[in-house]
Amino acid sequence: MKTLLVSVLMMAALMGAPVLAEGLLPNIPAALGEPHPEGNEFWRVNHPAILSHDRDLTVLDGIRDIDGSIKTCVACHAVEGPDAAPLTVASPEHACRTCHDYTAVKIDCFQCHNSRPEAGDWPAVLPSLGGTPESLHAYLERISQ
């Protein structure tokens, strides 16, 4: 009996004191555009696979006419910062970071990609190369000679 009591006390200690219910979910900011037709549930679970798939289409096959790109993601999911400019991924309130910080999932998208939309005074980090499949082929032929 004494053992049982000690065990129960140990269990209580392990579980920690009850805390108020609020604040267990991350504070996900609402997006600016129309909701995804597939639903939020679908996108929450599948966005990594979709992004990887489109990345492979673009990078490996040179197909640039894809449904979604990270550019459109950050445009619609932009969060306004205190200076009325969209937040970059450096801020914990950035749309991607709210959940990714919460679940400790590290992403490397923004090591190359811009994490906020290009608008007004925020020029793209890199100028567009204007690549088309034809120009890519021409380029590949040039370097293969």
Partner 1 sequence: MISTVYAVLFYLATFLMVAGVGMKVFKYATTPVPLNIVVSPAPRTKRGVVFRMFREVIFFESLFKSNKWIWLFGYLFHWGMLIVLLRHFRYFTLNTWWWVEIISPIGKLMAFAMLAGLLGLWARRIFQERIRYISNPSDHLMLALLVGIAGSGTMMSYVTHTDIINVKAYFLGLMRFDLSHTLPADPILMAHLGMVVILMIIFPISKLLHVPGVFFAPSRTLVDNAREKRRVSKWARNLPPLPEGIPAKEEG
State the residues that interact with partner 1 by CB under 8 A: 3-4, 6-8, 10-11, 14-16, 18-19, 21, 23-26, 41, 44-46, 48-49, 99, 101-106
Which CB atom, from 88 or from 98, has the smaller least distance to partner 1? 98
Q: How far is the CB of 69 from partner 1 (least distance, A)?
A: 21
Q: How far is the CB of 135 from partner 1 (least distance, A)?
A: 36
Contacts of 112 (CB under 8 A, 6+ apart): none
3 state DSSP class of 35:
coil
Which CB atom, from 39 or from 120, has the smaller least distance to partner 1? 39
Contacts of 73 (CB under 8 A, 6+ apart): 51
Which CB atom, from 84 or from 104, has the smaller least distance to partner 1? 104
Q: How far is the CB of 94 from partner 1 (least distance, A)?
A: 16
Phi, psi of 86 (to 5 degrees): -65, 145
Distance, CA of 3 to CA of 124 (rounded, Å): 66
Q: How far is the CB of 19 from partner 1 (least distance, A)?
A: 5
Label residue 101 left, alpha or beta by phi (over 0 means left) and psi (-120 to 50 means alpha). Answer: alpha
